[in-house]
Amino acid sequence: MITWYAVSGAIEQGLVYGMMSLGVFMTFRLLDFPDLTVDGSLPLGAAVGSVCLAQGMPPFLALIPAAFAGFLAGSVTGILNTKFNILHLLASILTMTALYSVNIRIMGGPNLPLLGLPFVFSPLIEMGITPFLASPIVFGGFAMVAGALLFWFMQTETGQALIATGDNPKMIKSMGVNTHSMIILGVGLSNAMVAVSGALIAQNQGAADVNMGVGTIVAGLASIVVGETLFGSRAGGSSVGRCVVAVVLGSVVYRLAIAFALGIKVGEFSFQPSDLNLITSILVVFALILPQLQKRLRK
Amino acid sequence: MMLRLNGVRKYFGRGTINEVLALDGVTLDIEKGEFVCVIGSNGAGKSTLMNSIAGTFFPDEGSVVLQDNAITNWPEHKRAKFIGRVFQDPLSGTSANMTIEENMAIAMLRGKRRGLSRGVKPAHRELFQNRLKKLELGLENRLHDRVGLLSGGQRQALTMLMATLVRPDILLLDEHTAALDPKTAELILSLTRELVEELSLTTLMITHNMHHALAFGSRVIMMHRGRVIFDVRGEKVKSLTVDTLLESFHSVGIAEFSDRMLLV
Ligand SMILES: Nc1ncnc2c1ncn2[C@@H]1O[C@H](COP(=O)(O)OP(=O)(O)OP(=O)(O)O)[C@@H](O)[C@H]1O
Ligand SMILES: [Mg+2]
């Protein structure tokens, strides 16, 4: 059975991973750039944020270096792709792989526990709000701010050029936009969001771990397709506002679905947390082939 | 002088067995206000000529000078400041996922710095609507529609407006009506004429239709195997006929293409 505690935990996770999903949305949908860097930039953000925290930086401030580190990682992928003509997928795999070593260097080991340190939601707890309400509130706030910022940015002159770069590079080049810069900027910003998300996740879990990023891209995609299916159109472009909301809600629904699946018991059988990546991949595969199946059925 | 190409040579697949000399030392001066029509058989190098002006790639030899700027090594996006382009594929010139006004707002900033102010400025809407009214396609009432919803002809008309929204020093049209049905093609052509006259643009238009070339061009250029083999300007264009053009084709031994062109 699924408990109220599990539901609250799932919402909290959905919100804290929401910012990550927005980052993936930005590359995957807006820039048309499948970017696996995120599997490395999520723990990178966690590592940098946690080290800063451990050095005594206030928990909110510690997110800024994390964002910078994420941006840097993303722009490395962007540069490999644009300036050195490496296929986007391969470029991102290379960065992701390199980040594994970098992250261990940053943390001085494969993980970094954050015992007895102040977190972003600590002020609320001090005000007397129970922890299992405090963190969803704080993470919800973060998801809203991140969504609003992304929405705002995409309406700016630069953001519009970025969307057009993903949609029609030939056209936007003829309009005087340097598509290389746009890709580097876009993949950078995306990974900055993912890294901040990683830093928050580390605070939520009380530790940063080099393996916490495994499956990030697939979870992000799952949130996007769930959100698009349930709440909104799949087109990027002018409907960014709606997509942003759909992606964050999709992230929450996705985590709820996972919590629900983990609660299922059929006789002796029940899912384990380690089955999660399998379930998620199947979900994404299904969402990707669904439109094709529909087309075939209609014929 | 608006544009000067000096001995421009361009190879594709240089050093491989597929090596093609697409431009074989083209030298060309285009004066301000000229309407240059480029004709020639398939693979003659017409698009390559245009792309080397637009900066899609850099020439292997030779130089390109636009007004007083030596732009030979400028990347495409940097040259876009001076150049308006319309492609053959009507889907190429617009962003399908974005709305009509978003596309036009992007075109408003051609060659300018893009910052963090609002992309679509409310103050520009009236200008967009006025430009769109000109098309008589009812698009002025559809500013918020995704461009993907428009027909190919409507998209090409919008691309024409976008290419000229900020006045370009030179307008490049690469068979921009070839993918359209005859009626829509005529519409786009008359729009082309209107815009070129209104803004007194310098224009380079590639076409396979010799009638169009003669009707529009203040200068007609014929290309063959990467060279300009025929170049007529001014008064002499008026005395040109499709037959004389065909004769010139035959004289260089490309009868096989000229028959096809006559049919267009
Ligand atoms: N990107 C490219 N890579 C390799 N070869 C190319 C490329 N672009 C053009 N070519 C070759 O260069 C030559 C000139 O091509 P171009 O496209 O300029 O011809 P065109 O005159 O525009 O012909 P068409 O009337 O068919 O459009 C052709 O032989 C073509 O195959
Ligand atoms: Mg061509």
Residue B192, domain CATH: 3.40.50.300
Which residues of chain B lie closer than 8 angstroms to A155, CB-CB?
Answer: 118-120
Query: Model confidence over A209-220: pLDDT tens digits?
Result: 999 999 999 999
- Cβ-defined contact of A176 to B93 (cutoff 8 Å): no
3-state secondary structure of B162: helix
Q: How many CA atoms lie within 13 A of A21 on its CB side?
A: 33
Tokens representing B42 are: 């398939």
Nearest CB to A176: which of B81, B99, B144? B81
Please give the structure tokens belonging to residue B64: 């390109």
Other residues' Cβ atoms within 10 Å of the Cβ of residue A60 = 11
State the distance from the centre of ligand 1 to the C-alpha of B113, rounded, in angstroms: 33
Ligand nearest to the CA of B41: 1
Banded model confidence at residue A236, pLDDT cuts 50, 70, 90:
low
Q: Other C-beta atoms within 10 Å of A184: how many?
A: 22
Residue B225, domain member (yes or no)? yes
Mutation target for A interface from B95, B161, B167: give the one with most A CBs within 10 A: B95
- CB-based contact B258:B246 (threshold 8 Å): yes
Nearest listed ligand to the Cα of residue B22: 1
pLDDT computed for residue B262 by the predictor: 46
Q: Both tokens of residue A140?
A: 């919800």
Q: How many residues does chain B have?
A: 264
A238 vs B: CB within 8 A: yes
What are the CA-CA distances from residue A36 to residues A145, A244, A269, B197 (Å)?
24, 20, 33, 51
When pLDDT is averaged across residues A227-255 and rounded to a whole number, the result is 84
ipTM: 0.92
Say how far apart CA B234 and CA B238 lie, in whole Å: 8
The 10 Å Cβ neighbour count of residue B257 is 16
DSSP state of A28: I
Task: Report d(CA A232, CA A228) in Å as an integer.
Answer: 5
Q: Which of A155, A141, A181 has its CA nearest to residue A236?
A: A155
In a domain, B239, yes or no: yes
Give, in order, the Cα–Cα distances in Å from B150 to each of A54, B11, B28, B143, B192.
Answer: 56, 38, 38, 12, 19
The pLDDT > 70 percentage for chain A reads 98
Q: Residue B264's pLDDT is what? A: 39
Q: Is the pTM of this model over 0.90?
A: yes
CA of B50 to the centre of ligand 1 (A): 11
pLDDT tens-digit readout, A77-133: 999 999 999 999 999 999 999 999 999 999 999 999 999 999 999 999 899 888 878
Give the strand order in the sheet containing B83-86: B83-86, B170-174, B202-206, B35-40, B219-224, B227-233
> How many structural domains comprise chain B?
1
A142 C-alpha to ligand 2 centroid (Å)? 51
pLDDT tens digit sequence for A138-152 = 999 999 999 999 999
- The fold of the A4-298 domain, in CATH, is ABC transporter involved in vitamin B12 uptake, BtuC (1.10.3470)
* A93 touches B: beta carbon within 8 Å: no
Spatial CB neighbours of A214, under 8 Å, sequence gap ≥ 6 = A39, A277
The three-state secondary structure class of A140 is helix
Residues B70-89 as b/e (b if ≥16 CB within 10 A, e otherwise) read ebbebebbebbbbbbbbbbb
For the beta sheet containing B69-70, the strands, ordered from the edge strand earlier in sequence to the opposite edge, are B20-30, B3-12, B61-66, B69-70
Distance CA B220, CA B212 (A): 10
User: What is the torsional sign of CA A227, A231, A236, A237?
Assistant: negative
Of B87, B89, B116, B23, give the one whose Cα is nearest residue B61: B23
Provide the pLDDT for residue A237: 55
CB atoms within 10 A of CB A12: 24
Q: Does A157 touch chain B (CB under 8 A)?
A: yes
Nearest atom, ligand 1, residue B13 CA: 4
* Structural domain for B159, as ranges: 3-95+151-262
pLDDT, one tens digit per residue, over A269-298 is: 888 888 888 888 988 888 888 878 888 887
DSSP code per residue over B28-66: EEE-TT-EEEEEE-TTSSHHHHHHHHHTSS--SEEEEEE
Distance CA B103, CA B107 (A): 6
Asked if residue B76 belongs to a domain, the reply is yes
Q: Judge whether B38 and B232 are in contact, CB under 8 Å.
A: no
Contact assignment for B115 to A157 by CB distance below 8 Å: yes
CA of B21 to the centre of ligand 1 (A): 10
Nearest Cα of chain A lies from the Cα of B153 at a distance, in angstroms, of 17
Q: Do A168 and B92 touch (CB under 8 A)?
A: yes
What confidence category does residue A175 fall into, taking pLDDT thresholds of 50, 70 and 90?
very high
CB contact under 8 A, B106 and A175: yes
What's at A137, amino acid-wise? Answer: I
What 3-state class would DSSP assign to B205? strand
Q: Which residues of chain B have pLDDT under 70?
A: 253-264
